[in-house]
Amino acid sequence: MNNSQFIDIRRELHQIPELGFEEWKTQEYLLSYIKSLPQQFIAIDTWKTGIFVKVQGSDPTKVIAYRADIDGLPMEEETNLTFKSKHEGKMHGCGHDFHMSIALGVLTYFANNQPKETLLFIFQPAEEGPGGAQPMLNSDYLKANRPDMIIALHIAPEYPVGTVATRKGLLFANTSELFIDFVGKGGHAAYPQTANDMVVASSYFVTQLQSIVSRNIDPLDSAVVTIGKITGGTKQNIIAEKARVEGTIRTLSLDSMGKIKDRIGALVKGIEQGFECSASIDYGSNYCQVYNNEAVTDEFISFLKKKSNVNFVECNEAMTGEDFGYFLEEIPGFMFWLGVNSDYGLHSGLLNPDEDAIPFTIDLLVDYLKSV
Ligand SMILES: CC(=O)N[C@@H](CCC[C@H](N)C(=O)O)C(=O)O
């Protein structure tokens, strides 16, 4: 099999990034490719914008699932690549184009070479939000076709191609989105005494927020609170009646997640009193931690250590989030980082992963899935 064709597929998918639960073109592209494969062993089902492809094993004792997420991010691509995003304001800035093309490569191999065990390829929408894993797990399809084991990967720009990094147990953090709307009183820029300025109130709040991780959380229990977006006001000489603060909370323990939310509630109350305004908090979507099953991960690590072309790294936990954690709550399995050597990281408009990682990983996963 010539795995370099999956680099072309990645480039095509890269041009059509779509947001969570809007991945209709992506689904159409994937379905058209999957339907072009030999159909003898495979069965295709769809769920919203997602896809399930079952490859019937020849003498199965279990069902092994491989999950690839399919959504892009609401951000402008800043690369000058010939195959850059054609969708303005949207980019595959988290590598899901890689995840999909690798999945198609592995699926292509097994559609042509029947596996012993039954394989289930899951193309999952909305990983970046609002979260597709949990509703997909509750779908009639997955209720009736529960895999016995599940695996997934995430590209890692900081590692060279050939590096695979993972660890037993906790890999990624618990996450919660954070949206706060402040409402005060607008007015003329020259008459601040007649208004309650929500640009000032939200700025105080963002500054106070910085004390939560440094003053309220055990320094040995990592946590992050990031505000990624602030909007407010209408014009430079009008005092803002409204402001909105958008961010994300990351913790390694659920206890810290609870403490941070309590502190946010208290700080917001203080802002309401101090600035005579009202505020509402919405925690958006929450993802549970990604916790790798110890036994299955151990076997994968042993497999990696025997491969002369793989540099295995036992990595630390990361404060990234992934709704793949919901699959791992119910099904033994693991996630791993895949080295793609980009100078720019995940969620950067300049992310440019090395495509050599695609054929490398297809071969690696085909070998691994044949071995389990
Ligand atoms: C691997 C990765 O970058 N995942 C995202 C998951 C987003 C979680 C959620 N929408 C949030 O923003 O809290 C990440 O940002 O870690």
**Structural tokens at position 313:** 């790294």
Same domain, 209 and 162: no
Domain boundary among the residues 286, 321, 355 is at 286
Residue 372 is predicted with a pLDDT of 94
Same domain, 140 and 111: yes
CA atoms of 71 and 330, how far apart (whole Å): 23
**Structural tokens at position 76:** 């402008």
Same domain, 273 and 293: no
Closest ligand 1 atom, residue 176 Cα: 13
CATH number of the CATH domain containing 319: 3.40.630.10
Same domain, 299 and 273: no
CATH number of the CATH domain containing 204: 3.30.70.360
Q: For each successive 10 residues of the chain (372 residues), what is the average pLDDT?
A: 89 98 98 98 98 98 98 98 98 98 98 98 97 98 98 98 98 98 98 97 98 96 97 98 98 97 98 97 97 98 98 98 98 98 98 98 98 95
**Structural tokens at position 336:** 């791993």
Q: Sign of the CA dihedral 258, 67, 21, 232?
A: positive
Residue 1 is predicted with a pLDDT of 66
pTM of the model: 0.94
Q: Are 320 and 172 in contact (CB under 8 A)?
A: yes
Same domain, 357 and 243: no
Same domain, 200 and 159: no
Is 69 among the catalytic positions? yes
Same domain, 127 and 29: yes
- Structural domain count of the chain: 2
Distance 187 CA to ligand 1 centre (A): 37
Same domain, 28 and 156: yes
How would you classify the pairing of strands 238-239 and 311-314?
unpaired
Same domain, 243 and 351: no
Residue 253 is predicted with a pLDDT of 95
Residue 3 is predicted with a pLDDT of 82
Distance 306 CA to ligand 1 centre (A): 33
Same domain, 280 and 314: no
Q: What amino acid occupies position 108? A: T
Residues 6+ apart with CB under 8 A from 121: 51, 52, 53, 54, 55, 65, 66, 68, 103, 106, 107
Per-residue DSSP letters for 155-212? EETTS-TTEEEE-SEEEE-EEEEEEEEEE-B-EETT-GGG-B-HHHHHHHHHHHHHHH
**Is residue 162 within 6 Å of ligand 1 at its C-beta?**
no
Question: Domain limits at 158?
Answer: 5-171+289-371
Domain boundary among the residues 286, 310, 335 is at 286
